[in-house]
Structure 1
Amino acid sequence: MSSSPALSARGSRLALLVVGLCWLAVLFDGLDMFIYGSVLPHLLETKTFGLTPDTAGDLGSYATFGMLIGALTAGTVADRIGRKKLMVGCVVLFSLASGVCALADSVAVFGLGRTLAGVGLGGLLPTAISMVSDYAPRGRAALTIGLLMTAHHAGGILSAYVAKWLIDPVGWRAAFWVCVLPLLFAPVLAKFLPESLSFLVAKGRTEEAAALAARYEVELPAAKSGRKTAADRWDALVGLFRGGEWTQTVLYWLASFGGLLLVYGVATWLPTLMRAEGYALANALTFVVVFNLGGIVGMLVAGRAADRFGAPRISAIWFALTAAGVYLLSVHMSTGVTMVVVFLTGVFLNSAQTMIYATVSIRSTPDNRATAVGWTSGMGRFGAVFGPWLGGQLLAAGNGEWGFTAFALAGVSSMVFIGIAALRGTRQTPRTSGQELVGAH
């Protein structure tokens, strides 16, 4: 069934609104996530709170442990109360938690703030991915998700500049006060972000869905028979293991574990490891900017490639290239060559993990998409917890040069798991077609 040009035009504007608002939310998510790694070299050099490398690794793991909790619960909660409400709540939570970090007078209070921030950060990302998947144009789901994820790396770039501009003249606490500012964005998100049409229809809120569809002149998704009741709220999770789905689910989870170990290990320790290699603090933070610029390029390139060749195949190739790039960072090179390697590593590393999410999202049905993405992200968060801790332990033991090698091995493992999933995927029909994406007309 084709849509009229008017419906397509208004649907495109609706998609632009949803992606734009989610992009800003994920920008703040990236800022809050990367800010710790950006200020960490200063905290270690000044021995703030008596910080040591192993303690710093523990603090990095606190945030990712909070993200684990947020990611594991976000999908189920979003499928029950709605993606919009959860996104607003997550922005409020990680903004206020940054205020706790800014006011902290001990490692314990600072760690509490990072843990609470992690809960909000972990809940926001899979929810935003599910939201834009609902409204993505037909055949452009992976590209739309890649576009969304450029915001995460834009936030990483912003975090490096916040640290460079504020630490010396004002102090590290000012960087965390900047991370409180997204609190002002929460009312904007609550007012202008529409709820997922597929969620409203799945919950039987047809009048609300019809009003929203009429407002933007878009078509409603077809209502599914046998709508779930509250007693069946775990059915979406159980569905990930029915029949032959369990092997794909486990492969995605294992790939996500290695991918997030790599992503958050590098995100936390890149400036510090580069500082240990003899680079000045300003140059070490410049590597963060270059790394995230690569991430933005990678998201756009990977999204288009995944829409054409398949997200799992692109993810496997990207992880192989990531492992090579991360390993090269352990080799002493000229500054110019190192910049190129850092940029290319950023291109492949970040988008490799995102294409795992894209694969899961595209192959999930609208009523369990948030659960599928959330649990894939959540299982990966165990790797995200382990990565910062591992880097801290290696530095504390005087084996910092092994940090990049360990992270490279994680990339190899993810390449293997998502590669097997890609091979299996060639013999399976994806669970979602382009017509099932809300806004695809």
Structure 2
Amino acid sequence: MSSSPSASPSPSPALSVRGSRLALIVVGLCWLGVLFDGLDMFIYGSVLPHLLETKTFGLTADQAGDLGSYATFGMLVGALTAGTIADRIGRKKLMVACVTLFSLASGICAISSSLEVFGLGRTLAGVGLGGLLPTAISMVSDYAPRGRTAITIGMLMTAHHAGGILSAYVAKWLVDPVGWRAAFWVCVVPLVFAPVLAKFLPESLSFMVAKGRTEEARELATRYDVELPAAAGKKTAADRWDALVGLFRGGEWIQTLLYWLASFGGLLLVYGVATWLPTLMRAEGYELANALTFVVVFNLGGIVGMLVAGRAADRFGAPRISAIWFALTAVGVFLLGVHMAQAVTMLVVFLTGVFLNSAQTMIYATVSIRSTPDNRATAVGWTSGMGRFGAVFGPWLGGQLLAAGNGDWGFTAFALAGVSSMVFIGIAALRSAKSDTPSGSERKLVTAH
């Protein structure tokens, strides 16, 4: 009953069932990691109305915007360095390190006695948050059941919005009776999850193959009933530079800049709204409890959006869906600045959540589709990286508007960012020489916040 590690027999039904169960464990652990990532990311926005109303640390609106940008700047650093670090220590160890880092950083926020210490905690948390998400996506891609990679990644991303929902309830249940510090102490709890990851999460198959641990990787792939990643040739610095330069050769520089500008506006919108939604809704006259309920509804919409965006792109094409989604997002965000009946506002918040997050996802899908295989990773990575500057700018912009007494313009400013992304991705799609007809390559969901 022994089998050679180098053999590749068709898995038996029993092995397939067992492999699927083991793969479910891997995906489940990554899902929990991303859940905690979302909790830590959204918790600041959820407690921000309380921090401003109580003038904690003498906090002003413009300083609050700066604090929101600290976390997103940390995420930029984490996202840009995650790949290099993972290539050295492995994806599993990096995930454990990221969970540990953002949990301890929340502890710094919880015990902080000054705005500077609190800002340090949010920056360090951002580094861990930015490093975990792309690493978790890589892990899930390795262990997803055969032919189910795209939908598995989509399911993984629902965890981020589930974390946003959890952050709203943590704030509703703890901030008024106990205080804002209790909310950040809850964000330290994932620290106990780090040893669970270290014990039960297997190493990335791609990492083991890249490090020459082929036999070990093959044994895991057989046991989990997943495909063994192909060994890729080691890329030199010159290869990576050539791939980047290729994005600007000929007329490609126009396409590249259009994608980058669309991503900038998209992530400005995503993180600006994530940070300021409860505060802006308070400014519109809603009670704090209702303002936090909007966070729950917004993230419920995000979960639905992640599950339906890929199917819509399969049928109508990712570039078209991205442009339409941004247009609908802009309308929804603008309407949030109009005081309507609460039930109508809830519906608008939900639909805005549906379209907002998946609109940005479709930018990555569009770039992936329009790129050649040899520079696809570079194109998507740099589009995401340039977009993260928008993620830094969005929270700052909201703070500046509120500090200047122009809070009513907050939703309008974010809506204009959605319009700009719609225009840029629309022009890029029209300029492309390739057909917009959906193809098999468009069915691969690309997700990278």
- Tell me the TM-score normalised to structure 1 length: 0.88
Give, as a single letter, the amino acid of the residue that structure 2 aligns with 1:235: D
Residue in structure 2 matching 1:411, options 418, 439, 449: 418
Matched, 1:198 2:206: yes
Q: What is the DSSP-based 3-state SS (H/G/I as helix, E as strand, rest coil) of the residue aligned with 1:382? A: helix
Which residue of the partner structure matches residue 154 of structure 1?
A: 162
- Tell me the TM-score normalised to structure 2 length: 0.87
Q: Deviations over 1:255-299 (max 9, x none)?
A: 221111001111111111110111111111111111111111111
- 1:378–1:436 distance in 2 versus 1, CA, 3 Å: closer
Q: Deviations over 1:114-160 (max 9, x none)?
A: 00001111111122223323444566544332211111111011001
Alpha-carbon separation, structure 1, partners of 2:436 and 2:325: 22
Alpha-carbon separation, structure 2, partners of 1:192 and 1:156: 26
Q: What is the DSSP-based 3-state SS (H/G/I as helix, E as strand, rest coil) of the residue aligned with 1:302? A: helix
Alpha-carbon separation, structure 2, partners of 1:430 and 1:241: 28
Moved more, 97-106 or 200-209: 200-209
Residue in structure 2 matching 1:228, options 234, 240, 252: 234
Matched, 1:175 2:179: no
Give, as a single letter, the amino acid of the residue that structure 2 aligns with 1:223: A
Moved more, 160-169 or 130-139: 130-139
Which residue of the partner structure matches residue 283 of structure 2?
A: 276
Counterpart mapping for 1:395-406 below 5 A:
395-406=402-413
**Shift of residue 186, structure 1, vs aligned partner:** 1.1
| 1:202–1:223 CA contact under 8 A, matched in 2 | yes
Matched, 1:299 2:306: yes
**Shift of residue 242, structure 1, vs aligned partner:** 2.3
Q: Which segments of 5 or more consecutive residues in structure 2 lack a partner in the other structure?
A: 1-7
Give, as a single letter, the amino acid of the residue that structure 2 aligns with 1:29: D
- 1:370–1:30 distance in 2 versus 1, CA, 3 Å: farther
Larger RCO of the pair (alpha carbons < 8 Å, separation 6+): 1
Moved more, 423-432 or 15-24: 423-432
| 1:141–1:307 CA contact under 8 A, matched in 2 | no
Counterpart mapping for 1:6-17 below 5 A:
6=13, 9=17, 12-17=20-25
Q: What is the DSSP-based 3-state SS (H/G/I as helix, E as strand, rest coil) of the residue aligned with 2:322? A: helix
| 2:27–2:156 CA contact under 8 A, matched in 1 | yes
**Shift of residue 14, structure 1, vs aligned partner:** 4.7
- 1:360–1:8 distance in 2 versus 1, CA, 3 Å: farther
Give, as a single letter, the amino acid of the residue that structure 2 aligns with 1:317: I
Alpha-carbon separation, structure 2, partners of 1:17 and 1:251: 40
Matched, 1:337 2:344: yes
Q: What is the DSSP-based 3-state SS (H/G/I as helix, E as strand, rest coil) of the residue aligned with 2:278? A: helix
Which residue of the partner structure matches residue 254 of structure 1?
A: 261
Moved more, 61-70 or 78-87: 78-87
Q: What is the DSSP-based 3-state SS (H/G/I as helix, E as strand, rest coil) of the residue aligned with 2:392? A: helix
Matched, 1:51 2:59: yes
Alpha-carbon separation, structure 2, partners of 1:365 and 1:116: 36
| 2:314–2:443 CA contact under 8 A, matched in 1 | no
Alpha-carbon separation, structure 1, partners of 2:373 and 2:143: 11
Residue in structure 1 matching 2:246, options 233, 242, 266: 242
Alpha-carbon separation, structure 2, partners of 1:178 and 1:222: 41
| 1:263–1:384 CA contact under 8 A, matched in 2 | yes
| 2:20–2:224 CA contact under 8 A, matched in 1 | no
| 2:101–2:128 CA contact under 8 A, matched in 1 | yes
Matched, 1:22 2:30: yes
Superposed CA RMSD: 3.1
Matched, 1:285 2:292: yes
Q: What is the DSSP-based 3-state SS (H/G/I as helix, E as strand, rest coil) of the residue aligned with 1:116? A: helix
Q: Deviations over 1:229-256 (max 9, x none)?
A: 6xx1573464244266766554443222
**Shift of residue 171, structure 1, vs aligned partner:** 0.6
| 1:265–1:388 CA contact under 8 A, matched in 2 | yes
**Shift of residue 378, structure 1, vs aligned partner:** 2.5
Alpha-carbon separation, structure 1, partners of 2:429 and 2:144: 23
**Shift of residue 369, structure 1, vs aligned partner:** 7.6
**Shift of residue 208, structure 1, vs aligned partner:** 2.6
| 1:10–1:218 CA contact under 8 A, matched in 2 | no
Residue in structure 1 matching 2:134, options 101, 116, 126: 126
- 1:414–1:237 distance in 2 versus 1, CA, 3 Å: farther
Give, as a single letter, the amino acid of the residue that structure 2 aligns with 1:66: G
- 1:427–1:111 distance in 2 versus 1, CA, 3 Å: same
**Shift of residue 9, structure 1, vs aligned partner:** 4.3
Q: What is the DSSP-based 3-state SS (H/G/I as helix, E as strand, rest coil) of the residue aligned with 2:231? A: coil
Q: Alignment identity in percent?
A: 85
Q: Deviations over 1:188-220 (max 9, x none)?
A: 122222233233223322133123223324442
Give, as a single letter, the amino acid of the residue that structure 2 aligns with 1:83: R
Alpha-carbon separation, structure 1, partners of 2:153 and 2:444: 16
Moved more, 360-369 or 339-348: 360-369
